[in-house]
Amino acid sequence: MTTLSLPSYIDPAHTGPWGMFLEQLDRVAPHLGPLAEWLDTLRHPKRCLVVDVPVRMDDGRIRHFEGFRVQHNLSRGPGKGGVRFHPDVTLSEVMALSAWMTVKNAAVNLPFGGAKGGVRVDPKTLSTPELERLTRRYTSEIGTLIGPDRDIPAPDVNTNEQIMAWMMDTYSINQGSTQTGVVTGKPVSMGGSLGRRDATGRGCFVVAREALKRLGRPLTGARVAIQGFGNVGNAAARIFHDAGAKIVAIQDVAGTLHHPGGIDPHALLRFLDGDPRRLTAYPEAGVIDNADFWSTDCEILLPAALEHQITADNAPRIRAKLIVEGANGPTTPQAEDILDAAGCTVLPDVLANAGGVTVSYFEWVQNASSFFWTEKDIHDRLDRILSEAFQAIWELAAARRVNLRTATYIMACSRVLQARAQRGLYP
């Protein structure tokens, strides 16, 4: 008998990130009342596109890469979500990330649906010209889906302002006119927004600050352990440090730094000089085993890397009393049960890391109006939106006697499903 080999992006058992999202929906279903009738809407992405991305390499060879763009739900507005370049990208992962964007946008009441994209590639193995050719071909392949009023990509893991500039230029060339609003996270010189680069990390800080107030814990002197020192992690580290917190551990691809007296993230960034592989050579902190990161003595743990990092295996070791999910999907449902039982408060990704998409919304609005705001305007508006969203979710959690993730899902899913019900079904 011949065994058929399924494509790498198929996950029929839903064992990956998409399965994790489905379990989160199952947990919120009993709290949705009559709207639960529509919950299957969120169990089925509206549209999944898998594309071949052929690229001519510098040596003349042609390599093929798998690309994805998923629009999970568009009931509340155009799709919104980042694009990641990573060798482990799968359709299951992109589906889950797009679904979390649906929940995230609704949780903070942005007029967007959820979408996400990715290319299965290790960008560190490509030259700059190869990376540009890959980005432009991927953009052209998904061009039938994206647009300023249809689906607006943004940076994510291993993508940045330059990638967004190439995407905007490619889309604009194909449209025959400059379309600045097709992506967010662009360079400021091309219509990007001030404050966008640090927005996700800043949003983590805002919701953590609000949670500490309700928990009666001080921010000044609070010990913080951060996993991931990319855009999100290093921005969060700098903002927490500047507010008086103490960064006691930082983990990244090269290893884990630890210093009970505190690590200055500004000094660490200067030392790294753009090369994260130098992390463990930093002379002002010690190096510990990666597994020991989870048992670091701290008040706040901030996972800002990839999904599925806090599991049933390491959750019992965590000593933090507040977890701030800077990454998407870092905590499995089983791990969260363990943390809940231990009295640890988890600020879910769909609230904690919503700063990035909130400032992306600001950028989209500024592009549409051709009127740009000051960085102070950006920070003030971001603070207000996230603080108000946190307050509403905190009160809902108390009223329903559920944790913050369930409360966030109740609020977000209710908004999405109400819109779906009111729009009705097209025959």
Euclidean distance between CA atoms 165 and 46, whole angstroms: 27
Euclidean distance between CA atoms 151 and 116, whole angstroms: 9
Which of the residues 80, 104, 116, 186 is marked catalytic? 116
Contact (CB, 8 A) for 294 and 271: no
Question: Which residue is listed with tokens 């629009």?
Answer: 71
C-alpha distances (whole Å) from 66 to each of 8, 70, 86, 143, 267 are: 9, 13, 11, 15, 39
Contact (CB, 8 A) for 15 and 28: no
Euclidean distance between CA atoms 100 and 77, whole angstroms: 15
**Greatest CA separation found in the chain?**
66
Euclidean distance between CA atoms 178 and 170, whole angstroms: 10
Q: Is 104 a catalytic residue?
A: no
Q: Who contacts 265 (Cβ-Cβ below 8 Å, separation ≥6)?
A: 234, 237, 238, 241, 247, 250
Closest CA to 331 of 355, 352, 349: 349
Burial of 176 (0-12, 13-18, 19+ CB in 10 A): exposed
C-alpha distances (whole Å) from 264 to each of 136, 230, 283, 294 are: 38, 15, 12, 20
Would you state the structure tokens that stand for residue 260, as one six-digit string?
A: 């009970």
Would you state the structure tokens that stand for residue 206, as one six-digit string?
A: 């805002």
Question: Which residue is listed with tokens 């640890």?
Answer: 344
Residues noted as catalytic: 116
